Chain A
């Protein structure tokens, strides 16, 4: 069904409604991105930006394997996070959409609240929980377990835990929306055609919520690639990820061109992977997240 009223850009109604968001996103999103790209062709000397227009920064980026090792590590972490989030989110989204009728609203409120609460606070909470002298070990020794059983704070595992923790709600929301929008009659039709529960699930529900799986994965992957808080606070900065590297390049080394170039490498590689993934899933037409 084609919905919507045809409008021309000369129509003042369209213009005044569309213009604020267009202006906002062009001046404060697209323009800064373009400028960041232009910055990669400059240099810094004595902590000052020099407008030189050369490829020095890019030769630097491509000649140092260090940057690429960090990038690889970042991608692996992000992909692991996507996989864990999908596995955890699916039963919850499915339950919310089809079975948790009585507690549906309460569960939604609880999930939303957990999602909306500041990530810094929650990450800090994890530190207090996982610390050698933290709540987890205190409770476990209290139950008679040997001391300091939980000792993975300041490792990649803690980082991963933090990432899953902070990004899982995105997976739950996108999957929930797509399962919720499936016509229940299709599933009944599958039963009617003689499919077992599992088979109906496999042949009808899963394929139909593919767009939701795709949107959720892309969202989590792109956000996961850019995490900074979790590796720094939970990972203890021991094995830095790209965002941390970029942050340092800007902040500590005050090398804006290099920081800009690393930002671009990260963006281009992630977008490339997303496109590759969409090819694999056969999702040519669905756009990102929204």
Chain B
């Protein structure tokens, strides 16, 4: 077999696997989108008819809208804080050499490889004990804290890549040009790390927005979109749930495309 045919064969094989896996990834997503258009009450095929009825229903559903609002609120707070903390941690773990660096990296990266459900449970125990001591219940705030713990390591890893490609001499150059510490950050460090920070923030928002496990453990009686849907699966669903799901996909798609564009603009 000559090299060229061999090459073509490999390409066909790789593209084939790729296409199959992409199809696999999108089966449930397309299924949900399709079912959201079911006119009837039940999630069975064939459909009674095609309509956007359940989207209208969604707008009138108090619990669904509250869940959307809670998701957004938690994700917004968690994103801002996790991005700030994760960015500084990335700078520390890439740029500096100091005693206990390995321990620092292990500590800040550990939640990445910790099952979310267990993280949720462990934090639930912690907040229950603390709550009994200081008189508070789990709710929005504890959910936000849990999300921050889970998301910060992701931010750190993403920003670390950007920090790694950043030439620290540029900061010296800025200082040499007469910039104060603050001006170095404003004019050089932040603008140059921005693509990484921005993608990390988007990633963080989406991870938080779609998080089920931690919210489930820590949000108390507060419902977010994922926990709302989970309860819906248990109770016996109507096309309302696929409709929410479809709505939830849209901002995710936009943000991911935006982040990819930012990354490309950087290069």
Contact = CB atoms under 8 A, between A and B. Distances in A.
Contacts of B102: 287
Given A28-B149, A125-B29, A226-B115, A22 B245 contact: no
Interface of chain B, main secondary structure: helix
Nearest to A219: B113
A165 to B, nearest CB: 7
Contact of A105 (B21, B104, B112, B260): B260
Interface in B78-131: 84-86, 88-89, 91-92, 94-100, 102, 104-119, 121-126, 129
B212 interface: yes
A117 B109 contact: no
A: contact size bracket: 35 or more
A246 B32 contact: no
A123 B28 contact: yes
Contact of B111 (A4, A25, A229, A247): A25
Nearest to B157: A290
A223 B125 contact: no
A109 B61 CA distance: 32
Contacts of A117: 29, 206, 210, 248-249, 252
A120 interface: yes
B134 interface: no
A21 B6 contact: no
Interface residues of B, number: 99
A20 B88 contact: yes
Interface of chain A, main secondary structure: helix
B89 A18 contact: yes
A118 B108 contact: no
A256 B124 CA distance: 11
A228 interface: yes
B226 A260 contact: no
A31 B110 CA distance: 13
Nearest to B20: A88
Interface in A69-116: 88, 91-92, 94-95, 99-100, 105, 107-114, 116
A26 interface: yes
Interface stretch (A6-14, A56-64, A152-160, A203-211): A6-14
B94 to A, nearest CB: 7
Nearest to B259: A112
B230 A120 contact: yes
Interface in A1-56: 2-9, 14, 16-18, 20-22, 24-26, 28-33, 35-36, 39
Closest 10 CB pairs of A and B: A226-B115, A125-B28, A118-B210, A290-B109, A32-B126, A114-B25, A21-B89, A95-B14, A138-B45, A17-B88
8 contacts: A29-B149, A32-B125, A95-B17, A107-B18, A128-B32, A165-B28, A233-B233, A288-B112
